[in-house]
Structure 1
Amino acid sequence: MTALRPEVAESDRDGRRGATLPVSDSEGTGLVQLHESIAALLASRGQWRQAYQHLRSAFDLVYADQDDQPQVPEQLRREVDRLRREHAEAREQSLRDSLTDSYNRRYLDERLLDLVAHRGTATAGLAIALIDLDWFKQVNDTFGHLLGDRVLQRVVELLQEELPEDGFCARYGGEEFVLVLPGLDASPAVEIAESARLRVERHAWASLAPGLRVTVSIGLAYEPAAGESPARPAVAPEQQLLRADSLLYTAKQSGRNAVAYRENGRVRLAGAASGRRGIAESRVVGY
């Protein structure tokens, strides 16, 4: 891009535009190159709007002394749109687990921080369900790791069915997953977790391999909205995940294939598991 003879406006002390002062070819070229360099840096960070503004400034400098400034070519517009789409796709892929296509730990951490930051304006609470496949090592040892991968993929599909609009599933690590359920009261959150557990239990796993059976254990931690308990400070995401992990331990120690949650200070099991005797105490209470 070659500068012709651009002009810049001189501002007075009150910030009002004054007379335009001519700028030399070398100075104009330097300004154009500066705008282009800044635009390239912003584009590399995905800040497309700011990058476009700097490119537009460079464009205006080049054609500043021409009466009829040319329009931005349609090909350039299409190229910018393509780059935006590619950046959005790359961003989305960076937040996905490559095996299961659920969200990854990076997205989970970012989203939880955002949800906690907006807790003061939320009208309902936040539920976090930590999910672990029961006896998954035996699945890998008996049927092989390739089939184990298919099991993980299918479990994620089952967990994601019937999620509320803002809910999502993320891989926490290994065979552990997290369901994040914002904007819900405690009872609906328990129902969603129990329905997910039941879908996994009832799935036709033998269609993948004869004799295969898969179940999950779930620990559900619920944090009320600020309006429900105004005197209670917001709980950090790490603390709520620890509470969910503690309840997951309860579900495991109480016979597996169950959803453990806390109600009125007591640990309970949901659904059919509620009739079990000897519910184990959580490892970490922290309530």
Structure 2
Amino acid sequence: MTIVGPGVTGSEPARDGRTWPHTRDATVPMSLRDTAAFDDAEEAGPDNASLIHLHESIAALLASRGQYRQAYQHLRSALDLATAGQNDPPQIPEQFRREVDRLRKEHAEAHEQSIRDSLTASYNRRYLDQRLVTLLGDADTTRTDLAIALVDLDWFKQVNDTFGHLVGDRVLQRVVELLQDGLPEGAFCARYGGEEFVLVLPGIDGPTAVAVAESARARVERHPWSKIVLGLRVTVSIGLSHEPPGGPSGAAERQLKRADGLLYTAKQSGRNAVAYHADGQAKLAGAAAGRRAVAEPRVLTH
């Protein structure tokens, strides 16, 4: 892209293949060139017209790089220059309006893709870390409860080894759908890594969080996995940690570690279970609660 400044003449191809006609001193995109607003800007001086083109050219370059927010800001600057000094509200050119709408849409799509896991469409680790900082990062005594459930597929390596990775991918996608089914308002699922996922459950107390996690575990267990491939069976183990309202700040990493330790308890106590803390000790929820041996949570120091 060539940015033409004051005093330079010639023509420049637009992105749609047209040639942008010149003003007296600058090449200007058609989005503003054929408008009364641009005529007013041109009368104000060639420097003003050149700045309009400069902003539009920079916007096109930024958009091509995926920097949509900055591109939109430059388009707004171009419009402000074109309508400067007008008493009446500016008539936004239709082509300019469409360009701004396109940039907004592309920016929203790009942002959504940046926070989603490409395989399962659940949120990714980046989004999880950002949200946990928001939910737990402030020493705010008015903060509500927050439960974190760390979910791991049982014997998932055997699924891949026995049925292949394509089946394994389908299993991961279906597990995410089952985990997300019926989550409370404000809750979300994120892929933590590999076959591990996190359910973030804000605004619910400990017993309710246990019930939500146990329901998710049961849905996975009851799902007719043999419809995907004969002989397939999938279960999950879950470690659930809960932070009461007004807890200490900076608790995201600590709460994840507690959930990881309780996940170890669920695994060591027979898998296909939800492990949580209550009355100062580790317990198992639902049908697993009748098991005689409950392993102690693993304590992670780093």
Q: Tell me if TM exceeds 0.5.
A: yes
Q: 1:119 to 1:257 in 2, by over 3 A?
A: farther
Bigger CA drift: 245-254 or 260-269?
Answer: 260-269
Aligned to 1:125: 145
Give 5+ residue unaligned stretches, structure 2. Answer: 1-27, 29-37
Task: Report how far residue 238 of structure 1 moved.
Answer: 1.5
Do the aligned partners of residues 201 and 111 (structure 1) sit closer, same or farther apart at CA in structure 2, a change above 3 Å counting?
A: same
Q: Given that residues 40 and 51 in structure 1 are in contact (C-alpha distance below 8 angstroms), is that contact kept between their aligned partners in structure 2? A: no
Aligned counterpart for 2:188 among listed residues 168, 181, 195? 168
Match 2:80 to one of 45, 49, 57: 57
Distance 1:69 1:194 in 2: 58
Q: Does 1:271 align with 2:291?
A: no
Shift of 1:53: 3.9
Kindly indicate whether the alpha-carbon contact (under 8 Å) linking 2:144 and 2:202 is maintained by their aligned counterparts in 1.
yes
Where in structure 2 are the equivalents of 1:180-199 lying within 5 Å?
Answer: 180-199=200-219
Q: Distance in 2 between matches of 1:41 and 1:122?
A: 45
Aligned partner of 1:84 among 104, 117, 127: 104
From 159, 164, 179, the counterpart of 1:139: 159
Amino acid at match of 1:185: D
1:179 aligns with 2:199: yes
2:268 pairs, out of 214, 232, 253, with 253
- 2:225 is matched with which residue: 178, 202, 205? 205
Q: Aligned partners of 2:182, 2:162: CA distance in 1, in Å?
A: 31
* Cα-to-partner distance string for 1:176-209 (whole Å, 9 max, x where unaligned): 0000011111111110000000000111111111
Q: 1:102 aligns with which of 112, 118, 122?
A: 122
Residues 125 and 184 of structure 1 are in contact (CA less than 8 Å); yes or no, is this contact kept in structure 2? Answer: yes
**Which AA in structure 2 matches 1:87?**
H
Cα shift at 1:48: 7.0
Structure (1 or 2) with the greater strand fraction: 1
Report the equivalent of 1:157.
177
Contact 1:48 1:84 in 2 (8 A): no
Report the CA distance between 1:280 and its aligned residue: 0.7
Say if 1:122 and 1:67 are closer, same or farther in 2 by CA, change over 3 A: closer
* C-alpha distance after superposition, 1:205-250 (max 9, x if no partner): 1111111111000000111110xxxxx5224311111111011001
Q: 1:119 to 1:178 in 2, by over 3 A?
A: farther
Give the 3 Å change call, closer, same or farther, for CA 69–204 of structure 1 in structure 2: closer
Instruction: Give the aligned partner of residue 4 of structure 1.
Output: 42
What corresponds to 2:299 in structure 1? 284
Matches of 1:41 and 1:270, distance apart in 2:
56
Residues 136-187 of structure 1, C-alpha deviation per residue, up to 9 Å, x if partnerless? Answer: 1111111111111111111011000000111111111110000001111111
Runs of 5+ unmatched residues, structure 1: 7-24, 227-231
Contact 1:133 1:217 in 2 (8 A): yes
> Letter of the aligned partner of 2:180 in structure 1?
Q
CA contact (8 A) 1:38 1:54 kept: no
Distance 1:68 1:223, change over 3 A: closer
Contact kept, 8 Å, 2:153 with 2:237, in 1: the verdict is yes
Deviation at 1:117?
A: 3.4
Instruction: For residue 34 of structure 1, report the CA deviation from its aligned partner.
Output: 6.3
Q: TM-score, normalised by structure 1?
A: 0.81
Return closer, same or farther for 1:270/1:69 CA change in 2, 3 Å cut-off. Answer: closer
CA distance in 1, matches of 2:62, 2:192: 32
Report the count of equivalent residues. 260
How does the TM-score come out when normalised to structure 2?
Answer: 0.78
Q: Aligned AA for 1:57?
A: D
1:185–1:224: 8 Å Cα contact kept in structure 2?
Answer: yes
Q: Distance in 2 between matches of 1:180 and 1:69?
A: 46
* Contact 2:139/2:248 (<8 A) preserved: no
Aligned counterpart, 2:8: none
Q: For residues 219 and 56 of structure 1, do their structure 2 counterparts lie closer, same or farther at Cα, with a shift above 3 Å needed? A: same
- Counterpart of 2:134 in structure 1 is 114
Structure-2 change in CA distance of 1:37 and 1:114 (3 Å) = farther
**Contact 1:218-1:247 within 8 A present in 2 as well:** yes
